[in-house]
Amino acid sequence: MARTSFIAAAILALSTSVLGDLQTCGPAQYDPAQYVCYENQFLCPITAGEPLSVCGGACYSKFQYTCTNGALALLPPVPQGTPFILTASNPTLSIDGQPINAGFGKWLIGGTTQSYCPVEQVGASCPPGNITAIYAGAGDGAAMDVIVPGGQQVYLDPFWSVAYTQAHSAYVPSGSIRTGLAAYAGGGFINLNGNGWGWVACPPRASGPAGPQWGLVGRNATNAENLTGCTPVNLKVNLLPVGAVGAWQYS
């Protein structure tokens, strides 16, 4: 009997401890690590480290929407041809605020940009090449901000890693997606493809080519089970002056 009472008391104490971590929002209880409460009546989830805001009773991300007089509206798109850089956003990760950099044909988080310029032919016209700049293309695509003839297009490869075409080549692997990528002024770079679940940052692997840089992948219903070690992030758009050039070409 004494042992049974001890076990019951332990379970009760554990339950009380867990419940003690919860807070109340109106009639509901919630975990403040996963939700935020507004006006003691609206609960919104914390997604990719961002406590979603509330507008007219609806939760929204400031990386894509704005709220005016209780009405939601999309942020304005970055004008076509306007260059920008991206930074990762998730305050719970060490890579929060780190730039998105080009390297090995992919977008990576942190580290340094990998670029090239034929100094012998171009000379002083070579851009610094130390940032990874992108611009919004026609429609809902994007391209690398480069000088090399033919440019370098951005796409999601068949595994939904963000990649870009090599210089002097328009080749993309079968099953890749060139469209459905939107940059919002004052907001984020969003994957609008139908079954997209946002971006995730994947920590570096000893066998990977990128060293300490984190990988960037668009999560979807197909690949989600293979990304359990990755963490959701937002991509923040930071505009550059019109006419700025990122590199001659990215490697």
- pLDDT tens sequence across 132-144: 999 998 778 999 9
For residues 199 and 86, the answer to whether their CB atoms sit within 8 Å is no
Using CA atoms, how far residue 191 sits from 32, 104, 186, 200, in Å, is 27, 21, 16, 11
Q: Is residue 11 part of a domain?
A: no
Total domains present in the chain: 2
Q: pLDDT for 169-203, tens place per residue? A: 999 999 999 999 999 999 999 999 877 789 999 99
pLDDT of 81 over the 70 cut: yes
Asked if residue 222 and residue 154 are part of one domain, the reply reads yes
Q: Which residue has the tokens 């610094």?
A: 128
94 and 154 assigned to the same domain: yes
* pLDDT range class, residue 5, cuts 50, 70, 90: very low
Task: Tell me whether residue 9 is in a domain.
Answer: no
Using left for φ > 0, alpha for ψ between -120 and 50, and beta otherwise, residue 123 falls in: left
pLDDT level of residue 103 (50, 70, 90 thresholds): very high
Q: 112 lies in a domain?
A: yes
| Under 8 Å between Cβ of 113 and 250 | yes
Do 50 and 93 have their domain in common? no
* pLDDT for res 95: 96
Query: Do both 60 and 122 map to the same domain?
Result: no
Whether residue 100 sits in one domain with residue 35: no
Which residue, of 51, 74, 97, is where some domain finishes? 74
Asked whether residue 214 is assigned to any structural domain, the reply reads: yes
Average pLDDT of the chain to the nearest whole number: 89
pTM: 0.88
- Give residue 170's domain range: 83-250
Asked, for residue 3, whether it belongs to a domain, the answer is no
* Residue 7 placed within a domain: no
Q: Could you tell me if 51 and 92 lie in one domain?
A: no
Task: Give residue 26's pLDDT band: very low, low, confident or very high (50, 70, 90).
Answer: very high
Predicted pLDDT at 197: 86
Asked, for residue 68, whether it belongs to a domain, the answer is yes
- Identify whether residues 46 and 90 lie together within a single domain: no
| Whether residue 222 has pLDDT greater than 50 | yes
Instruction: Report residue 8's pLDDT band, with 50, 70 and 90 as the boundaries.
Output: very low
What is d(CA 147, CA 212) in angstroms, rounded to the nearest whole number?
28
Q: Is residue 197 part of a domain?
A: yes
